[in-house]
């Protein structure tokens, strides 16, 4: 058991170190990060759409018409992402902004829905809502802020993993 903890400690620390490096790279090159995301999104839409459309047409069981249509729409969306990357980035960013506003409003409502107001939930909801409105108001800066938030969260979780690996290693040595 002690050996497993020590091995896990090493793996957590290395995973954390990779996370820190990855997060710093995201923050160092936000433009490349956005381009890479759009490329991966385009490839995903093309590949998954083609597989779903062809698979549905070949099998023709159940809801094969819907599967074929979803696949075809996905392929068209993938082609659109590649042919219009700026508009695609804005569309994805708009979806994130809508999500943030809706989640934020729901969190605020949830915070006020109990007898004792949950102010932490209200504050978290306000942050989401304001962030969503910020993205709508300033899409370019919102995209940069979103990429930075992703990078920062990866760095913070990486540091936490490194510390967790260190603590697990200390624990395995203490059990000897």
Distance CA 54, CA 56 (A): 5
Give Cα separations from 171 to 39, 161, 162 (angstroms). 43, 15, 14
For the chain, how many structural domains are there in total? 1
Residue in this structure with the two tokens 């998954």, named with its chain if needed: 48
CB-facing half-sphere around the CA of 31: CA atoms within 13 A:
0
Residues in the chain: 176
What is the span of the domain harbouring residue 6? 2-174
What percent of the chain is helix, strand and coil (3-state, nearest 5)?
90, 0, 10
How many whole angstroms separate alpha carbon 19 and alpha carbon 27?
12
Give, for all 176 residues of the chain, the pLDDT tens digit.
556 666 677 888 999 999 999 999 999 999 899 899 999 999 999 999 999 999 999 988 888 899 999 999 999 999 999 999 999 999 989 999 999 999 999 999 999 988 888 899 899 999 999 999 999 999 989 889 989 999 999 999 999 999 988 888 887 777 66
pTM: 0.68
pLDDT of the residue at 171: 76
pLDDT at 61 (0 to 100) = 80
């Amino acid at each position: 058991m002690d050996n497993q903890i020590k091995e896990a400690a090493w793996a957590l620390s290395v995973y954390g170190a990779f996370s820190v490096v990855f997060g710093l790279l995201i923050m160092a090159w936000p433009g490349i990060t956005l381009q890479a995301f759009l490329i991966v999104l385009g490839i995903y839409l093309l590949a998954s759409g083609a597989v779903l459309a062809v698979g549905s047409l070949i099998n023709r069981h159940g809801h094969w018409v819907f599967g074929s249509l979803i696949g075809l729409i996905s392929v068209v969306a993938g082609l659109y992402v590649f042919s219009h990357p700026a508009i695609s980035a804005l569309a994805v960013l708009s979806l994130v902004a809508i999500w943030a506003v809706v989640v934020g409003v729901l969190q605020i409502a949830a915070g006020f829905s109990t007898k004792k107001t949950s102010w932490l939930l209200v504050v978290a909801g306000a942050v989401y809502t304001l962030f969503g409105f910020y993205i709508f108001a300033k899409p370019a800066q919102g995209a940069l802020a979103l990429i930075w938030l992703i990078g920062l969260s990866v760095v913070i979780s990486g540091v936490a993993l490194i510390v967790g690996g260190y603590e697990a290693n200390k624990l395995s040595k203490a059990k000897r």
